[in-house]
Amino acid sequence: MKIGYRQKETLIMSVKTVLFFGIGVLFLLPLLWMVSSSLKYPSEMFAKEFSWIPKSPRWENYATVWNGEVVSMARGYANSAFITVMSIVVRLIVASLGAYAFAKIDFKGKNIAFMLLLSTMMIPGEVTIIPRFMLFHKIGLYNNLWAIIVPHWFAPGAIFFLRQFYKTLPTELMEAAKIDGANHVRIFLQIMMPLTKSALASQCVLSFVACWNEYMSPLIFLVKKELYTVAQVIQWTMMEDVSRTDMMMTAATLAIVPVVIVFFMGQRYFIEGIATSGVKG
């Protein structure tokens, strides 16, 4: 019996599907191990007799990490959430203003300013962090959440990304509004910015992930334990004098949950944001 072209296609498709789902599950094993370990005793975590399902799940691990006395994940969530929200809201406004101006307003020195911004994308943040530290220390932003937030407002990548969107919006819209007596501020706020909603959503989810996960600046600027971000709470559980292996995996799980939720809600925007710009954060 000969198998037809259709059946052959379906067969290949099924094999591929099974193969890649297999790889995909293998891919997630470290994270599944993390979740499983977060519900175990440390001794159980490294036991020779390995089991994915904990004998008696220790949900109290989560309570311990969430309400920790010295360092608590509840505070970590609050700090990271504050940083993330304040960073994103202002960043999107500032970047939109810049993007609109670069795309739609004809002003003197525009090209030089734009080139200047683009060229800074090549300067690694690590190169400017020391003088930035001195400056923030001087003006009282050391041990202050705003030290993490304010630098996020400068986003040449986001400006570049949004500018592409503004460029595709028809200038006729603007002209019509101008004749009706609207100025740039109104055109921007009432006509143009609302049209870039999906681009803003992409930038929003990408920024969320970058801000929530940020590690190096909090490590440098936030030394007081009550200011620790989520990443620092995990780091704290790993420190020598603390070293709570049981809490480590619980803290790690708690850190990842919000980004996974945001990802599920805004999957489309993640994919679009990355595929069109390829810029993280």
Partner 1 sequence: MKKQRSSLKKGENIVGWAFVAPTMLIFFVLTAFPFFFSIFLSMADWKFFNGWDKLKFVGLENFVELFEDEDFWNAMKNTIIYTVTIVPLSIGISIVFAYGMNGRIFGKKVLRMLFFIPYISSMVAVGAVFRMLFREEAVVNNLLLDLNLISEPIKWAINAKLSKVPIILLSVWCSIGYQLILFTAAMQNVPNGLYEAARIDGANGLQQFIKITLPMISPTIFYLVITRTMSVLKIFGSVNVFTMNTSTKSNTSVVVDIYNTAFVKYDFGPASAMSMILFVLVMVVTAINFWGQKKWVHY
Which residues from 164-223 bind partner 1, rule CB under 8 A? 183-185, 188, 209, 212-213, 215-216, 219-220
Among 4, 170, 181, 278, binds partner 1 (CB under 8 A): 278
**How big is the site for partner 1, counted in residues (CB under 8 A)?**
96
Query: Exposed, middle or buried by CB within 10 Å (0-12, 13-18, 19+), for 209?
Result: middle
Which range in 10-18, 51-59, 61-69, 162-170 contacts partner 1 by CB under 8 A? Answer: 10-18
Which residues from 213-272 bind partner 1, rule CB under 8 A? 213, 215-216, 219-220, 230-231, 234-235, 237-240, 243, 245, 248-249, 251-253, 255-256, 259-260, 263, 267, 270-271
Q: Please report, for residues 17, 88, 89, 228, the alpha-carbon distance to residue 141 in angstroms, rounded to integers and kept in the order given.
A: 52, 19, 20, 15
Among 74, 134, 189, 265, binds partner 1 (CB under 8 A): 134
Q: Is 68 left (phi over 0), alpha (psi -120 to 50) or beta?
A: beta
Which range in 52-60, 61-69, 127-135, 161-169 contacts partner 1 by CB under 8 A? Answer: 127-135
How far apart CA 16 and CA 9 sit, in angstroms, is 11
Binding of partner 1 at residue 4 (CB under 8 A)? no
How far apart CA 47 and CA 72 sit, in angstroms, is 28
| Cα-Cα-Cα-Cα dihedral sign, residues 275, 276, 278, 281 | negative
Which of 75, 68, 80 shows the shortest CA–CA distance to 250?
68
Q: How far is the CB of 30 from partner 1 (least distance, A)?
A: 5
* Residue with Cβ nearer partner 1 (102 or 165): 102
Among 130, 176, 189, 265, binds partner 1 (CB under 8 A): 130
